[in-house]
Structures are given as C-alpha cells and as structure tokens.
Amino acid sequence: MAAVLELLLREEVAVGAVLRWLRQGPGHRPAEENHIHDKLVSLSLLQKDFVPFLLNFLREQTSQILTNGPSTPAKTPNSKAHGSQRTGSERRAGHATSSRVQLFSQRTSVTSCTTDTSFSPAAASSGSSSFSGSNLSSPCSDFPSMASSSSPSFGYSPVLNHSERRSSQKASLGSFLTATPEALPVRRGRRKGGSAVSASGRQVPRDMGRSLAEEEDGKNDSPSWSGGRRKRSEVPLVSARSPPSQLNLNNLEEFPPMGAASGWTNKSKPSRRINPTPVSAERPLSKPKTCFTSTPVSQSPTARFSSGSSLEAFSTVQEGNLTSAISSSLQEEREMLKKERCKLLHQASSPAGISLDPGTPTKPSYTRSASLPAESHLVTCADPAKISCKKQLECLAQLYSSCIAENLVPNIFLELFFVLQLLTSKGTSTAEEEEESDLEVNEGSKNASGRQHFRSVHNCVYFAVQVLDYQYEIISHLEKGTLKFLAENERIASFSPTLHERLKQAYESSTAKVSLLLPCSVQSVSFQPETDNRSNFPSDRAFHIFKKQRDIFYELLREWEDNHEKTGWDFERVLGNKIRAMMAHLSATCNHSHFARLFQKQLIQMCKGPVGGGASWGDTPDQDVLNMLGPDNLSRLKRLQERFVVPQSIRGPCPPPSFPGCQQFFRDFILSAGSYQFNQHLVDSLCLKILELDGLTLVEHEHSDGEADMDEQDEKKRFTVVLLSLRLLAKFLGFLVFLPYRTVEQPTRDLQDSAVALRNQTLPVLDVLKLLRRSIRDHRSILTVPWIVEFLSLADHIAPFLDYYRKVFCLLLQVYRLMVLSEDKEMSFLNKLLILAVLGWLFQVPSVPEELFFATDVRQEGVMVDTVTSAQALDSVPLVDQQLLYTCCPYLGELRKLLASFVAGSGAKNGGFIRKITPTAAESLAPKASVTQRKLQVELEQAFFHNQPPSLRRTVEFVAERVGSNCVKHIKATLVAELVQRAEVMLQDKVKEEDANHDKLLEEVCAHLYEEGAQALIKGREFCKKKGPEAVRVLLPEETSAAVLSSAEDIAVELATEKACGWLSANIAALIKREVKATFNRMLKVPGLPLPSEEALELRRDCPPGCQHRAPFPSQIINEIKDVLCVAVGPRDEDEVIDHDWLESLLGRLSQTLRCRKFMCPTSEQQLAKCTVELASLLVSDRVPLSAGIKPPEKSSERLRVKNNPTYGLLKLLLSVWKEDFGMPVPVQLMFSRKNIGYLSEVKQREWDLFLFMLHGLVEHDLMRTSEIESCLRSLGELPWPSDFLKELEMLSRVFTSEHHREEPRTNPRELTRQSLGTVTAQS
C-alpha cells in the first residue's frame, strides 16, 4: 500500500497509472488494453486494499489539523470499531496499526468476530483488509485491544507481511477477548452516565493519545507508538466521542462541568444574536386529539435507536425526558434549552452515533461553532502562498477525487464531509509554528508517504479546494444553502477563483431550496371505516372486540401523544400493561390480522410525512403554531428554527438508523406488546403493502396531450409519497424481522458461526433479493433500493453474514459501483445521487460489516442490466429533487452545517457572512386570523369527509383534480394561445427590422406578455368555479342532501382552484415563454419569411361556384401530358402519332382540373405549368407528331395553311389556360430557354410563324411584356447557334420589335403574322 503511494508521491508513477492499476483490481473489469505500470505490476495483489489505505492515509495525515473539527465519521475499513465515531487521530492510530503493526491488524480482526468464512485469502492476508474486519467490531472489540496495549511488543511487522499465523490465532483470541466481562460495565457506564461520565471517561485516552501523538509523530517505526495508539483508539466507545488528540486536559473550557459548558456555549455565540424565546411556552399539556404534537427538539436524537438494543435506546428516551422540565418562566425555558442542547450534543456523539459535536466545548481555540471574538485571532488564515508540497497534494487530490468519482469509496458524502472539514480546518498560530518545525523534520525523512503533507492549514485547504473542484458536479447538485456557503467561502475564493466563480453561478442558478424541517401534513387520527365491516369478522363477538381494540389503540396513541414528552413518563410503565391486555384480547378472538392492518395504516398515516433521521416534524416546537403561519412563513420559521437548533449539532453524515417522531410510538408499541402473533401478522401486512407499493406503475409511459407538465409534477409527488411510505414500511419490517436476533454486542465468533449455520436454513420473510434484482432489471432501482436500504439498516449483526443477505449486499455493492455519477439518459443525476447517498449510509451502519465494501468480490452476483431502457423505466425519469434527496438523507445537511459553523467561527474575523436575524413581531406575519381560519377550514373539511361515505371524498378529489387539470388546458388553449399569436405578430414585425439578437427580442416580447399572463389566474378561478359544481352535481347521487352537495361543490372548487392556480402561478411565465419560443423557432425555420410579393402571386383560389369536384385528378393530367411529351421527345415508333382531337380534349380537361382547386396542390400545379410550357415549345417547333383529322393541303396558299394548321388551335388553348386557369405564374420564359429554342434550330424547315404567333399570343394574354420578350430574344442571340439559325433569329427579333412598336393597337394578329413572315422570308 504504502509502496504504491510512495511511488506516486515520489512522482515515479503518474496518477493515471495508479488509477489504471486500481481499476484492474478485483471487482472491476479487467484491464483490456490498459497497460499497467511496471512498478505496480508486482503490487497487483494489493489493489483492493489501496483505497482503504488511501483514505486512511488522508485521515491520518490530516488528523493534526482537524483536531478542532468534528471527526469525519468514517467506517472505512481502516477505522476501528464504530469507525463512524472515530476521530481523525484515532483513525490515524488505527491506520498505523493496520499498516505497520501486523499484530494488531490480526487481533482486531479476531476480536471483531466478523471474519467470515468466505473471506477471500487475498483480503485476509493483506494488512488493511484484516484491518477492515475490525471495523465491524462493536464495543466488545474495544476491550480486547485495550488489553493488547499492554503487550506492545506483541507484533508489528511490516505492512506487506502476509501472515499466515492469524488464522490460528483468530478464534481463540476472539472468544477470549469478547468474553472479557469488563466490556459490559464500561459500555453501560457510557450509556447511562451523562455527559460528565463520558467527559471524564475520555480524558484518559485523550491524554494518552495526545502524548503519544506528540512523541511519535514522524517516527513511524516505534512499536510503542502503535500500541499507544491502539490503546487509545480502542478504549470503549467513549473515545469515539472524544475530540481528536490535541486536547488540553487542563483547560477548563474543554472539560467543563455540565452547567459551565452550557453557559459557555451560550456565551460563545454572539454572532447568532438570537435570544431564544419560548416559542411554545403557552403550549398546553393536553392537546386536542387531532394534533399529534411534536417532541421537543432535542427529543429525537435521544430517541435515536441505537444499534445495540432497542430497549436500551428506549431507556435513553426516558433519560432524555428527565431533563425536559416544564418551564414557566423564560429564564427556566432558556435554562432548559441549554440543557437540552447539551444533552443533545452528548447524545449525538453517542456510540451509535457520530462525530464529535461542535458544541461540545473542547479546546476553545478549536471549537468550531464557537466564534468567540477572543479566539478568532487563533484561526489561521489560509494562505495560498504558503502551500508546501503542492505537487504531491495535487497528485493526492486527483487520486482521491478519482476514487470518489468511481465510487471506490464506501460513502461519497462522507468523503465530501471530510473534504469540507479540511476546507474549514482551523490551525492556530502556534500549531503553525509546530508544523513548520515538523515539516523540517519530515523533510529529512526519505519516506514520501510518511511525510506530513497536511500539517498546515494552507495545504489542507489547498487539497480540499482541489478535490472540490474535481467534485464540482456533485456539489452543484446540493441544496442551495450549502451552495451559498460554498460560494461565499473565502478560502475557496482565494485558493481557486475559478471554482469560486462556478460555485457562485451554481448558487445563483440553483432552485433547490430545501428545508430539513419539512412542513408535513400532520393528519388527525383517522378511523378507517372500511376495516369495520362486519363481514370481515367471523363472529359478532370478534367484531365487537375489535371495535374495542381500536378504541383502545387510539386511546393509547392519544395518551402517548399528550404525555410522552413529560418528565418521567415511561412508555412501558404507563402503557405496557394496557397494550399487553389488549394483545391478550386479540389473541382470544384471533383478530390479529385486523389489528395489524389498522396498525400499519395508522403508521403510514402518521409517519408518511418526510420523517428523517431526527429532523422530522416531531422535532418542531409546536406544529399548531407552525400550521397557523401558513406555508410561506412556516418554511421561514422552520429555517429560523433550524438555525436555532440544527447547526449546533453536527452529527456527521452517517447517523445510525433511528425512529424519529411518531415512529417512536409504533416501535415502542411493538416492543411492549411483545406478541409473536401480532408481530407475525404485522410482518405479513407490511410485506404485502411493500410489494404492492413497490410494484406500482408510477410513471405513465408517455403524455399524449398538453398537460405533461402537470402530470410530471403529480408523478413526482406520487413518487415521493410512495418512496417515503416504502421506506417507512421497510424500516419497520426490518425492525420486526431482525428483532429476535438483535444483540447488544457483537456475538462471538463461535456464536456467530453457529447462528449463521442455523439461520442459513431459514427462508427470508420478504425476498428482497428477488425484488432488488427485478428492480435493477426493470430500471426501477430508484424506488426499490432506498427502501431495501432502510430494511437492511436494521439488520442484526449476524444477518449480513447469512448467505442470502450476503448476496443482497453484494448486489447493492455492485449497484453502488456501477452508479458512476454523470448525467446520462439511463438515469438522472439526482436519482443516482439518492441511491449513492442511501447506499453509502448503509455501508456505514454499525451492523454492516466493512469488509463487505472492500473485500467482497463484486463479480459474484452478476448485475443484469438491460441496455434497452423502456419508456417506463423509472430510473430514467428525473423524479428526485433536492427536497426528496434531503428528506431521505437528512444527514446530507451535515455538509451545510459544517460550513455554517465555519462561517460562524470565522465570521468575527472576516466580518462577513453572518446575517443578523432581526426578530420580527408576530403581528407582522400574515394576517393571523385568516390563517387560523384557514387551518380551521381544513379541519372542518376533514371532518366533513369523515362523516360521509368515502366515495364522496373520492368524487370531490377526482372532480377537483380533473377540473383543475382542464382549467390549465383551457387556459393554454385560450389565453396562452392568444398571447402566443400576438407574440408572433410582434416578433414578425421586429424580426424584419433587425435580425440581430433573437434571444433578446424573445425576452422583450415575453416580458411584455407576462403581465397579461396574470389574467390566467382570474380566468382559471372563473373556470373552476363554473365547472366544478356542475361535475360534482352530476357525479354525486341524486339523493345527496342539498347542504352536503353544496359543501362538496365548494370544496371541489376550492381544491381545483388551488391546484390550477398553483400550477398556473408557478408556471405561466415559463409556459408562455416556451410556447412563444417554439413559435418563434418555427417562424425562423420556415425558409424565408413570406414576402409580400410572393403572397400576392400565390393566391389560393377557390373552386368556381357550383363545382362538383369531378374534374380529373392533377396526377392523371400530369401523367397524360407526360405521355405526350414522351412521344414528342422520342424515341418513338415510326407510325406513332398523337391524335389531335385527343390532345385538344386533354387540354380541355387540364383546364377543368385547374379550375377545381380541391385536389390541387402547389407541386402539381407547378409541374402542370412546366409541362405545358414544354408542350408548347414542342408544338411550336413542330415536334409533336399530330394526326390531324384533316391533313392540311400541301399546296394551298400559305395563308390557308396557317388557318388550317391545327397547332394554332392547340397553342391558343394553351395560352388561354395559362392566363385563365392557372393560379400561379406560368414559367413561359422557359420557351426561350436554350434547350427549347434548340428544338427549333434542329428542324429542317423552320416554321417561324408558329413561334411568332406564340410571341404575340404571350403579349396579348399579358403573360409576358414586349420588352421581356425582346430581352429574351436578345440574350438568345448571344448563344453559339449555327450561323444560319442565328440570322433567322435576329431577323425574327427585328420583325417582332418593329411590329410591336408600329402596331399599337394591333389589328388582326394573324394578318400581322402573315405580313411579317412574308418580310422574314423575303429578307432571308
């Protein structure tokens, strides 16, 4: 491992080469053409361990600098037990063990009890994999390693020593160590003990860690070093909570008594400038039963379901309640708040839990969230000029980023969190000095990877900014708040102005406003009338008992609701017996299935809202108050509230699974009931519902009409609801399924083996593997993966080792690896991001063994991904937005909190970004009365529907939905269409003026129309008001009473209006713009805007009055003319002639066809025109072999011959058709084309009189002007003709000119022709 990094840092191997080498590793496609660097070839066995090593290396290197920040919770294989809690320095220590001390790596893996039989030999033999085994280890493993510290000489062999001893040692050591009885007390102590205990508990290890760290830094080879490290890191979980190594024990502020701590915290937040006011001071203890009140803010973390045992978590809830004293005075309230916070913070760092909380006072200079002006001078200003080992940092950043980009790290957000920690790291001036000296020391060392590249803030920030730059795409998809902090981060601005610029743009264009404390609809306890039906029960008795059970259930619920926040209220003590009594009744009548259904429905109803890890509605102070504020103010208030509460508790991006809010009740109910039958029925019910929801078709394949936008919105909403419901159900299913196997501690190896052997025989309750496979095949993983993750997150310690779940994990891992983030057709970016986030979280859940991620051969389970994406593939539909992403993964908000706390910390210094919050009086909010009224109105409506048959509600909702939708369509078809038409006219005018800036033009016109677009709301309201009642009236039964009818109508209208106007107000501008743009584009595309002259020419005529449309089809006529042309042009048979009369009749039919416009299209007409001109040319040059009925007498006089020549008649016909019947200009000038005149020139005895006749005819029929003909003739004269022909042409031209200038007005044209021809012949 180190060798590889060494090569890289010494620049002997390029980053690209390392990446190629990595990709070649197991689980990745074999390198086909990729050439692996020679120096890396020999290290090929180590590929899979490299990423953990790298992560480790980074953590270790940065541990110094990050002492102030919250540790990056990482369950990387390098980290030890509950890696998620380990601080940087511990991780570093862990790394040291893994990479340098063979013994410990062995032992840790032993104690972890996780070594599974199928562990691949390569993994087992390499340092870090065996190390990764240790990650799994739960608290129990801590102790043994403590013991190990007493024998530091035990092991420690070079990294690459693949020891074979370990296998023999594993079992015995493991069983011995876990058996150590002391393990339990310590653990309990931590749990039960308040912060004081934990605080004192961590002093020792910290101290040790610190001294050792100071001693050993840079001297990697000392065995005692690793031993010490080991010891420290393996101290019971308390250490997990401990801040990194550089802690000053003597600092009172770092280890203050509780009260002091809170006082200090309060003091230390001058930049917040908010005096907490008792928002909920007047909150009555008993609430209307319709309102499920929220737990206090601090409650949910307490309620966090720790991985150990539910009952233990249970007890913490009670503990938490102890502190939540009822306060009457403001002072008391404040005091309480402080305590709450303090408690919260400590709990946040509880075992299962996470990072060092910033609020926990550590060393003042390092306290992240505390922005004491006094300490601000200690914050080192990161300076780009002071970066050392720039090249290496760049190398590392690139390598690290590539690992993130290719999903080689177990949790990308964890890494981003780490990077942000580096970005916001705060060195002190003293630290800096140390650094420098250290650096000097390190310079001496030849070991490049051993050098401290991250000893200075400058380097850390530089590295972080580099990585952020690489990860820009992910970052730019984060919610707006996070982007804002990043965009305003002065360090980014000074280290990379380009990234700063991009972030600023991303922030400005981002619309992803997310509130972690979502307003969610808290619904009243609703009875489910459909489960009441007597026919569902075997007997009257069962029916009645069930009715009673339901009443009891709701009674319990109400009691919990009202009281669970009270001090000393204990779920089990108060409700336990009632619940069990109820269960007994149920068993007596076998009503379990009914109750399970009710339970499940109630669960969905109460918890389907976006409840996430601790940031649910349950945390809000008072839902009633919030509801009264209306949605706008509500979200503002919630954001404000977030700033009060949330940012202080940085829990790290990987909290353990929890049951926040109302979910608590349901979990506790199950635990207290302890009924096997009930659980079984509930499992069945949950499975059924999950299968139903998972199989739903959520996206219609295609939208055929204009309401696509609205449907899309609805689809998204529906998807969100289904996804959240599925996750909720799956979580409870997982809870129930794994409940019997839940253990507090990681079981010993022996126990595990036997348990695995036993449980491998059982079938899974729900075939998640099949569902997962199917979802991948059907491209529906965006729906399925998140809930499977929830299900698995509650797995017990053994489950992941079962054959079945191993396959599931492998498959998930493959999904994770394959889901490389990029915008593609297969899957939208945010969909992928959600899947990556939940999977990354799952890989960090305590009960999931870490070696899974790095040691599992991904290829085991082939992912059959169809390349053909059907239209219905959910994955390809952009269903996830930031709101849903953050709802499902509230821990992503940690990134923002981290940045926020940095700003808070550095604010005093840079004078910058902290915005003052000016408290506004409640009066200035929205008219309160009306809001209250509105809420009441909603409740009234609910009540109204409650008492009516469900069909009424369905009808009203249906009507509202349809009318709303129709309304939008109507507006689109009328108002918008009208506006677009007007826009078209405006654009047409302007485009002609200046064809310069189309975009600007478009903007202008649209801006003009937006105002008018506002009318849409008025019109929409009118529409709904008119149509809604009609529809309701028709759809409801005739017998419906007038009052009910009118209420239903009103509600339908209201809902429809809300839907339509909501959509319109949000989208009308965009809609107008889109439509106008489309029209505009079409306008521009049409080749050449219709010019006025063309328009005049192409007047579309109508059929003559009384037209029977019986004329021959144009196609027929063209065909026939074509035949004539064929014969004329030849080749033809000797005797082939065209019947004159037939030709005459053809021209007659041509005339008819042209008159009837019905079947005529421009192309046909054009072709007819062209063909007839050709025909005329051929006629003029006597090329058409006419079989005249009467052959013109050979020897008659010329005058007679002309009279009798049938061609004249045909030409005359043609001329009149051209003039009278064509609706378009006939290209008569084609007669003068070289080709057509050529026909004339080829004739032996030229008949100029026909041509001349034609010329006169053209003039006569106004088809050509004299001057035009003259110029045509002139240009003809310039062509290379035979000389005799040229002469004739000239003469003809002269004759034509002279005649037309002389004779005006003309006399008989035929006479003229005669005369002129006479002259022509005479002259020639």
Binding site for other proteins (CB under 8 A): 702, 704-706, 1078, 1113-1115, 1118-1119, 1122-1123, 1125-1126, 1129-1131, 1158-1159, 1161, 1163-1164, 1167, 1170-1171, 1230, 1233-1236, 1238, 1242
CB burial of 1100-1135 (b: ≥16 within 10 Å; e: otherwise) equals: eeeeeeeeeeebbebeebbebbeebbebbeeeeeee
Closest approach of Cβ 1253 to other proteins, in Å?
A: 22
Nearer to other proteins, 713 or 1167 (CB): 1167
Contact 785, 792 (CB under 8 A): no
Closest approach of Cβ 1279 to other proteins, in Å?
A: 8
Nearer to other proteins, 938 or 1078 (CB): 1078
Closest approach of Cβ 712 to other proteins, in Å?
A: 15
Closest approach of Cβ 1024 to other proteins, in Å?
A: 24
Nearer to other proteins, 588 or 1126 (CB): 1126
Q: Say how many residues make up the chain.
A: 1324
- Residue 1186 has what DSSP assignment? E
Closest approach of Cβ 1094 to other proteins, in Å?
A: 19
Nearer to other proteins, 586 or 1237 (CB): 1237
- Residue 536 has what DSSP assignment? G
Strand, helix or coil at 1135? Answer: coil
Q: CA-to-CA distance for 488 and 897, rounded, in angstroms?
A: 14
- Residue 369 has what DSSP assignment? S
* Residue (of 182, 194, 160) closest to 53 by Cα position: 160
Q: CA-to-CA distance for 752 and 749, rounded, in angstroms?
A: 5
* Residue (of 308, 38, 112) closest to 192 by Cα position: 308
Closest approach of Cβ 1288 to other proteins, in Å?
A: 17
Q: CA-to-CA distance for 326 and 330, rounded, in angstroms?
A: 11
Nearer to other proteins, 672 or 1236 (CB): 1236
Strand, helix or coil at 857? Answer: coil
Closest approach of Cβ 1161 to other proteins, in Å?
A: 4
Q: CA-to-CA distance for 847 and 789, rounded, in angstroms?
A: 13
**First and final CA of the chain: distance in angstroms?**
108
Is residue 1077 exposed (0-12), middle (13-18) or buried (19+ Cβ within 10 Å)? middle
Contact 43, 65 (CB under 8 A): no
Nearer to other proteins, 533 or 704 (CB): 704
User: Residue 428: phi, psi to the nearest 5?
Assistant: -110, 165
Nearer to other proteins, 1069 or 1125 (CB): 1125
What would the DSSP string read from start to end of 248-266? -TT-TTTS--HHHHHHHHH
Nearer to other proteins, 760 or 1115 (CB): 1115
In the block, tokens 């099949």 appear at 770
Nearer to other proteins, 1026 or 1234 (CB): 1234
In the block, tokens 């005799």 appear at 1284
Q: CA-to-CA distance for 415 and 464, rounded, in angstroms?
A: 10
Omega prior to 1305 cis, within 30 of 0: yes
CB burial of 544-579 (b: ≥16 within 10 Å; e: otherwise) equals: ebbeebbeebbebbbebbbbbbeeebbbeebbbeeb
Nearer to other proteins, 327 or 1233 (CB): 1233
Closest approach of Cβ 998 to other proteins, in Å?
A: 21
Nearer to other proteins, 683 or 1180 (CB): 1180
Nearer to other proteins, 196 or 1125 (CB): 1125
- Residue 800 has what DSSP assignment? G
* Residue (of 109, 96, 108, 120) closest to 48 by Cα position: 120
Closest approach of Cβ 1103 to other proteins, in Å?
A: 12
Question: 687: Cβ–Cβ under 8 A, 6 or more apart, which residues?
Answer: 733, 765, 766
Closest approach of Cβ 1171 to other proteins, in Å?
A: 8
Strand, helix or coil at 810? Answer: helix
Q: CA-to-CA distance for 712 and 170, rounded, in angstroms?
A: 56
Six-digit token string for 55: 């992560």
Nearer to other proteins, 326 or 1243 (CB): 1243
Closest approach of Cβ 1268 to other proteins, in Å?
A: 16
Nearer to other proteins, 825 or 1244 (CB): 1244
Nearer to other proteins, 578 or 1170 (CB): 1170
Q: Angle between the 183-192 and 310-323 helix axes, to the nearest 10 degrees?
A: 30
Closest approach of Cβ 1214 to other proteins, in Å?
A: 18
Closest approach of Cβ 462 to other proteins, in Å?
A: 51
Closest approach of Cβ 1247 to other proteins, in Å?
A: 18
Six-digit token string for 383: 């300076």
Q: Angle between the 663-673 and 708-738 helix axes, to the nearest 10 degrees?
A: 30
Six-digit token string for 1305: 């007005």
Closest approach of Cβ 1122 to other proteins, in Å?
A: 6
Closest approach of Cβ 1012 to other proteins, in Å?
A: 22
Nearer to other proteins, 959 or 1178 (CB): 1178
Nearer to other proteins, 556 or 1231 (CB): 1231
User: Residue 831: phi, psi to the nearest 5?
Assistant: -60, -45
Closest approach of Cβ 781 to other proteins, in Å?
A: 25
Nearer to other proteins, 1028 or 1114 (CB): 1114
Omega prior to 1131 cis, within 30 of 0: yes
Longest dimension (CA), the chain: 141
Closest approach of Cβ 341 to other proteins, in Å?
A: 56
H or E element in which residue 68 lies: none
Q: CA-to-CA distance for 657 and 848, rounded, in angstroms?
A: 12
Q: CA-to-CA distance for 889 and 882, rounded, in angstroms?
A: 10
